[in-house]
Amino acid sequence: MTQPPVKKNDIVTATVVDWSHDGSGVAKIDGYTLFIPNALPGETVEAKVLKTKKDYGYARVQQFIKQSPDRVEPPCEIYGRCGGCQLQHVRYDAQLAFKRKVVEDAFARIGGLEGVSVRPTIGMTEPWQYRNKAFVPVGSRDGEWIAGFYQKRSHRIIDMDHCLITDALGDEIIQEVKRIAKDSGIPPYDEEAHRGVLRYIGVRVGRVSGEAMVVLVTRTKDLPHRKRFITELPKKFPQIKAIVQNVNPLRTNVIYGEETRTLWGRDVIYDQIGPVKFAISARSFYQVNPVQTRVLYEKALEYADLSGGETVIDAYCGVGTISLFLAQKAGKVYGVEVVPEAIEDARANAALNGLTNAEFAVGKAEEVIPRWAEEGIRADVIVVDPPRKGCDEALLRTIIAMRPKRVVYVSCNPSTLARDLRILEDGGFKTVEAQPVDMFPQTMHVECCALLKKI
């Protein structure tokens, strides 16, 4: 077996020639690939080799010999330690170009897709303070009370005073909750010993409504000094309409437990995306960037090309966000989702908007949709917005069998998007166009909306 031309702890000089899908720089040493985080294409760096495998290795920048004009100074003081962002060191227009390239590369490499127009990524005018939801883990270090996001690829909490991608109001509320909890001596959660009380500080903010919800995730049912929270928080922040406690007594990385109770105010806050209103509970799924969500959903609506009489199936409908956008223009929308609570929210959101042409069912899309077909329901358009793992293969076979005129695929993972588009193309559809949308500025993540037509 040929040995790599470098070994661990070697110091090498390398020119970065490309990006990897996670935003790392890609360099070649005698044809051998090195992935170098925080290095940009066009840069020459001196790097220390950290790990080698047969075909590729990893290295860390020691110093920059030549820097890219796309490099900027990250404004966040803890960038590089906190794992929340990966691209703050990249000029924003270059971030958008990178995300388009990630989609193009996945289409070519994974999907073998030819002739698909991948449009330039739609970015934000203000790519900061866009997250309407944040859950900050709580802990301690050297006896000190801390709260912040995890370090990359670890469960080490990086103490944080401010977050530049969290909504400004939400950020202020988190810091005030942190102050009250710390001053009150509420024991922070100890993950290793499974002791302490407060596990997470959560906040949700309605971008349009301005309403806010505080979520306190605790290990114990008892929340010491709860009166301080329900007295001091609404007094300082009149935008707060709900303070909720979620109890998670389990030794787990999952944030939420089964029990949720309202300590003060309402059970929900309200917000809207475009003309559609949504009730948001502590555990509701709701897109974290409502500004770009509207852009994404309007693109999905454009691709659906509805004139008023069509039947549409939304195969991963969640709480009905895309379904209700489509229901404004469709004759009938059928939504299916495996999570019962999400379907309850979807029905409530339909009622909230007075939309009577949207019908929702609980179950797996690949089981429910064939049943609808047996009942005589024929979809003109099928919309899918699956989790990162992509569509279930049985659902893709169902779509191929139903042969709708158009398929609109909304994806948060270009790799599984490309894989699934290949299957649909082999089943008689043609991918016409794809539109990347930057839902998560300063991070490596990219959303994409693709249009397929029946051949």
Beta-sheet pairing, 117-118 with 133-141:
unpaired
Asked whether the predicted pLDDT for residue 360 surpasses 60, the reply is yes
Spatial contact of 261 and 268, defined as CB atoms under 8 Å apart: no
Tell me the C-alpha distance between 412 and 280, whole Å: 21
Task: Determine how many CB atoms are found less than 10 A away from the CB of residue 112.
Answer: 12
Model confidence, pTM:
0.93
Domain extents in the chain: 11-66, 96-125+289-454, 133-273
Beta-sheet pairing, 198-205 with 259-265:
unpaired
Residue pLDDT, tens place only, 297-351: 999 999 999 999 999 999 999 999 999 999 999 999 999 999 999 999 999 999 9
Catalytic position from the list 85, 163, 317, 412: 412
The CATH fold assigned to 96-125+289-454 is Rossmann fold (3.40.50)
Tell me the C-alpha distance between 157 and 105, whole Å: 34
**Which of 47-61, 146-160, 237-251 is predicted least confidently?**
146-160
* Distance separating the N- and C-terminal Cα atoms of the chain: 48
Q: What confidence tier does 42 reach under pLDDT thresholds 50, 70, 90?
A: very high
Tell me the C-alpha distance between 146 and 143, whole Å: 9
Q: Is 85 a catalytic residue?
A: no
DSSP string over 354-379:
T--SEEEEES-HHHHHHHHHHTT---
Average confidence (pLDDT) over 210-215: 98
3-state secondary structure of 293: helix
The CATH fold assigned to 11-66 is OB fold (Dihydrolipoamide Acetyltransferase, E2P) (2.40.50)
pLDDT score of 285: 86
Residue pLDDT, tens place only, 369-386: 999 999 999 999 999 999
Quick one: DSSP state of residue 120? P
**Of 2.40.50.1070, 3.40.50.720, 1.10.620.20, 3.10.20.740, which CATH number belongs to 133-273?**
2.40.50.1070
- The residues near 155 (Cβ < 8 Å, ≥ 6 apart) are 191, 253
CA distances from 99 to 21, 342, 442, 443 (A): 9, 30, 11, 10
- Average pLDDT of the chain to the nearest whole number: 95
Same fold for the pair 96-125+289-454 and 133-273: no
